[in-house]
Amino acid sequence: MKSIDITGSLRTETGKKATHALRKSNQVPCVLYGMKKDENGNQIATHFTVSVEGLRNLVYTPHIYVVNLNIDGQVVNAIMKDIQFHPVTDAILHVDFLQINEEYPIIMEVPVQLEGLAEGVRAGGKLVLQIRKLKVKALYNDIPERLIVNVTNLGLGKTIKVGELHYDNVELLNAKEAVVCAVKLTRAARGAQAAAAK
């Protein structure tokens, strides 16, 4: 998995007023959830900020990254767990990170990559990718950069569902009936089928 360096600064004030001031100065409020828990069993959270520019290469990319997170000189490995965008402007409002522990499985979304020339495409159909990322659960070292789906034998009007996919040491968390990709009939393919049926 690719890695990316991000530098942040601890924040002491976490109220609405402080958060608003941060956003006005192009800083994004972030939270790092660690492996340690308090006496109530809740994950201990570290509040910090990162510049909008510092997050750009992590957020606006099709790739997944392990983040080398440097918060005031303390470096931890983490993944991006959640992100909130402004509903109108699409500005980054908040990012949650989860510290990686190689002994515990983590949940994250991994991009799907289709491989091969589908039979249905050769017959005039159109290959459509319906789920671009799948949610997986695995140990950090077992998570692939992308999930390869071979479509070579996929015929016209056929689909590949989540339940048909299997990867070593990786559990797929999406609904088993969810369609990952399909070969749809185009007008040309329908015409060819109709002509062949006559």
The pLDDT assigned to 196 comes to: 60
Instruction: Tell me the residue range of the domain where 57 lies.
Output: 2-101
Domain endpoint, select from 101, 117, 147: 101
Nearest to 165 by CA among 157, 155, 154: 154
For 42-64, what is each residue's pLDDT tens digit? 777 899 999 999 999 999 888 88
Mean pLDDT in residue range 91-118: 92
Query: Which residue type does 110 have?
Result: V
pLDDT at 149 > cutoff 90: yes
Structure tokens at 185: 């009939």
Return the minimum-mean-pLDDT range out of 30-34, 74-78, 185-189.
185-189
Cβ-contact 150, 117 below 8 angstroms: no
Same domain, yes or no: 116 and 55: no
Pairing of strands 65-71, 2-10: parallel
Q: Do residues 9 and 94 share a domain? A: yes
Average pLDDT over residues 143-161: 95
Per-residue pLDDT at 72 exceeds 90: yes
